[in-house]
Amino acid sequence: MATDSTKTEVGSYFISNYPPFSQWSEDYIDELNTAMHSAPRDGVPLGLYLHVPFCRKRCKFCYFRVYTDKNAQEVETYVSALTKEIELVSQTEAMGGRPFRFVYFGGGTPSFLSPKQLKRLEDRLRSSISWDQAEEVTFECEPGTLSESKVKALREMGVTRLSLGVENFFDSILEENGRAHLSKEVYRAWEWIEAAQFPNVNIDLIAGMVGETWDTWRENIKKVLEFSPESVTIYQMELPFNTVYSQDILGNKIETPVADWPMKRAWVSYAFDELAKAGYVVSSAYTMVKDPSKVNFSYRDNLFGGSDLLATGVASFGHISGVHYQNKTEWADYTGSLLEKGELPLKRAYRPTPEQLLIRETILLLKRGYLEADYFRQKFGVDILDKWSDIWKQYQEEGLVTVNGDRIELTRDGLLRADGLLPPFFEPQFQGVRYT
């Protein structure tokens, strides 16, 4: 029942929502507008996502909406559009005067912006919104874009979790995979980051980058342990349709250059073992943390649990009052006249049924490594142990989960292939459809 392919083939593997994005459409825009202009649901936390789509280079494995060719004036055009969108969003009834529980600056490369651009962005944002009450403010950084003054600026603007996209410590691997930074820039930035004393610093790695070997991987984990960040996130390289590598494979019919799934899982398992020896504990299928009482993943946990998320920026994804949505995906459409007319740049949406919301929370929360059945009884009136008893039985037989009373827990093998365990929970009409 679980996805069990060996070779890393073209197609999305990582699951971040349900139903699949390919099923969203313009047909739901009216429902989205109704949700935007209705009072929020009682007791539902609110988050904000800001998409900063600029990068110095496009990585060969990247599938996000990013731009590498924009000049300073175009960056200013985008920042103006983003702040105008947030001004409009802040005036919607769905905002409801709620404070943001979490804020996430993602990309792209938010740290592409200069300290002056960051300050202007912050000042303009704060004229409409505040994140002073947020329990987590995350900011993604590419090491080579950082300077001492920029790191200080991020701390001063209230960033509580800095996520550093290291991915690998070997220059040859970074260059082969199209990364903009080299390892020396990581070491240089780390001194500034430590001095700024962020409450949580996360280092991202990717298992299975082209050129990776056991020797390089072991050294990568050794170097991460020397840095000793509060959390370490390790993704397994995948090949969504719109990456450079995927286009090469599909267009030139070349063999996939990415390590196979058993190898990637072995590398992640080794990393988890080494991190555990150093005192880290599992926080999800991708993340280990040094101190669970200190490190908070508000963005992840609230999203997985059905929070509202106001998404801003080109191509960004959000959820409001039970409706999923995505913004316009092209530069001209996003930065164009809609915002000046006072209209939000909405592209497509989807209103999940109660059944689909149950499935969404089940599969996303399982990615943390465990489920508590009573949570679902209380929230949805459904016993997930009975509803999906055949799936749990098969996964137990395969050594992927354990079930003790109300608690369903992924084993190490289950953690290593968490996303591959999720499609069997999909409704029949979404089995086998393209995810994105």
Tens-place pLDDT, residues 193-224: 999 999 999 999 999 999 999 999 999 999 99
Q: What is the pLDDT of residue 250?
A: 72
CA distance 382 to 1: 22
Long-range contacts of 397-405 (CB under 8 A, 24+ apart): 398/2, 400/2
Q: What is the pLDDT of residue 5?
A: 62
CA distance 61 to 262: 19
User: Around 30, how many Cα atoms within 13 Å sit in the side-chain half-sphere?
Assistant: 1
Q: How do strand 317-320 and strand 401-404 relate by DSSP bridges? A: unpaired
pLDDT block averages, 10 residues each, the chain of length 436: 62 85 96 95 94 88 83 94 95 92 94 91 90 95 96 95 97 92 96 96 95 97 98 90 73 78 95 98 96 89 95 96 96 94 96 97 97 98 98 98 98 96 96 85
Length of the chain: 436
User: Around 433, how many Cα atoms within 13 Å sit in the side-chain half-sphere?
Assistant: 15
Q: How many CB atoms are located within 10 Å of the residue 27 CB?
A: 11
Helices and strands of the chain, counted as H and E runs: 17, 15
Token duo for residue 322? 């039970």
328 sits in the region (left: phi over 0; alpha: psi -120 to 50; else beta) called: beta
CA distance 55 to 75: 11
Q: What is the pLDDT of residue 12?
A: 65
Q: How many CB atoms are located within 10 Å of the residue 81 CB?
A: 21
Tens-place pLDDT, residues 47-57: 999 999 999 98
CA distance 30 to 285: 36
Structural domains of the chain in order of their starting residue, each with its CATH number: 21-302 (3.20.20.70), 353-435 (1.10.10.920)
Q: What is the pLDDT of residue 238?
A: 85
- Type of residue found at 315: A
Asked if residues 128 and 86 have their Cβ atoms less than 8 Å apart, the reply is yes
Q: How many CB atoms are located within 10 Å of the residue 205 CB?
A: 23
Q: What is the DSSP string of 30-84?
A: HHHHHHHTSPPPTT--EEEEEEE-B-SS--TT--S--BS---HHHHHHHHHHHHH
Task: Spell out the residues 6+ positions from residue 109 whose beta carbon is closer than 8 angstroms to its own.
Answer: 52, 54, 55, 56, 66, 140, 141, 142, 145
Token duo for residue 342? 């006072």
* SS3 state at 10: strand
Task: Spell out the residues 6+ positions from residue 30 whose beta carbon is closer than 8 angstroms to its own.
Answer: none
User: Around 27, how many Cα atoms within 13 Å sit in the side-chain half-sphere?
Assistant: 5
Task: Spell out the residues 6+ positions from residue 404 whose beta carbon is closer than 8 angstroms to its own.
Answer: none
